[in-house]
Amino acid sequence: MCLLLSGCMHHARLQPYAGQWVLKSSGKNMMALDTKVQRGKIVGTIVGPQHFMEEANGHFEGISLPIAIKPVTGRWKGNIVELTIGRKPGWDKMPMTLPDKNHALLGWTHGKVPAWRFERTATGQKASVATDWPVYDLTPEIVDIRQQLRTMAEEDQAARQKKWIDSKEIEELSEKDRPALEAIFAHYGWPKVSAFGVEASNDFWLLIQHQPLPLQERMLNPMKAEVDAGEASKEKYAYLFDRVQLGEGKPQHWGTQARCEDGRAILSPLDDAAHVEQARKEIGLDTLEESLKRSDEICAHVQH
């Protein structure tokens, strides 16, 4: 029974959001959302793998165990439900909308990736998640390597984000990092997301991007194999592929590479200019215009 008019209104608005919902990836239930209305708000849980990587086009990669359960609360805010997932200090807030009665969209408020599309389960059917994902096993050795890669990547970026970029300093950092990168690859191959985590895998890629061409060439096929296995980023592979292509005197494919001339970014040659925007969109890259705008900002601070 509703004792207050406002409480009754909120209950009626929230009731369509109650239910059991699943989010699929690779044909399997990746996340399960269980919600009900209680005292004028949504309460429930969300269950899914603790480790995964989401591309800008909304595809999930590097999904790995363990499975995590987080509490969910939601309140009516404006014309949407605002969900809070988890507890302080690591909670996330996501708007929840219903495009129709059988689907729910959870969208990150920063808008960098598409909304997660959950499907309502049939009445009486229990929402569950798949458990046959690879295990994310963080050994002390892997922890040390992750920290080593993070430190190297921070030094690399600090040198490239100065007001005036010194090319000599960049070259010295590349040379200093090379033995460690070679050793990691010799022992583990291209760092898998499921083994090293998204950040460390991306740090390794970033550092390889700034190595000489022969090392980049050696890394290209191993990275592609991990991309195909869902263990590395498609977007970042595009950057490495284009860089190797240009290094070998060939045109790039995705338009990720530009050179600096007189403080401006000049796009390097393309192999298919008519379809480059479509190629970028397919793997989650933004438009060439947006990319070149960022490159202009970098070129304005390069000194030779």
- Claim to verify: residue 272 and residue 146 sit in the same structural domain: yes
- Claim to verify: residue 16 and residue 154 sit in the same structural domain: no
3-class DSSP state of 149: helix
- Claim to verify: residue 158 and residue 229 sit in the same structural domain: yes
CA distances from 268 to 244, 245, 250, 253 (A): 12, 11, 10, 10
How many residues are present in the chain?
Answer: 304
102 with 119: CB under 8 angstroms?
yes
| 130 occurs within a structural domain | no
254 with 238: CB under 8 angstroms?
yes
What is the tally of structural domains in the chain?
Answer: 2
| 186 occurs within a structural domain | yes
Q: How many CB atoms lie within 10 A of CB 138?
A: 12
- Claim to verify: residue 78 and residue 222 sit in the same structural domain: no
- Claim to verify: residue 284 and residue 177 sit in the same structural domain: yes
- Claim to verify: residue 156 and residue 62 sit in the same structural domain: no
* b/e map 28-48, b = 16+ CB within 10 Å: ebbbbbbbebeebebebebbb
Run of H or E residues at 42 = strand 41-54
The CATH number of the domain holding residue 89 is 2.40.128.210
Q: Residue 31 sits in which domain range?
A: 5-120
pLDDT tens, per residue, the chain with 304 residues: 555 545 566 678 999 999 999 999 989 999 999 999 998 999 999 999 988 878 777 888 778 888 999 999 999 988 889 999 998 877 888 999 999 999 999 987 556 678 999 999 998 788 899 999 888 777 899 999 999 999 999 999 999 888 787 889 999 999 999 999 999 999 999 999 888 888 899 999 999 999 999 999 999 999 999 999 888 999 999 999 999 999 999 999 999 999 988 888 999 999 999 999 999 988 888 899 988 888 888 787 665 4
CA distances from 121 to 19, 42, 101, 103, 168 (A): 8, 18, 11, 9, 59
| 126 occurs within a structural domain | no
Listed residues 120, 148, 182: the one ending a domain: 120
- Claim to verify: residue 200 and residue 245 sit in the same structural domain: yes
Dihedral through CA 120, CA 121, CA 124, CA 127, nearest 10? -110
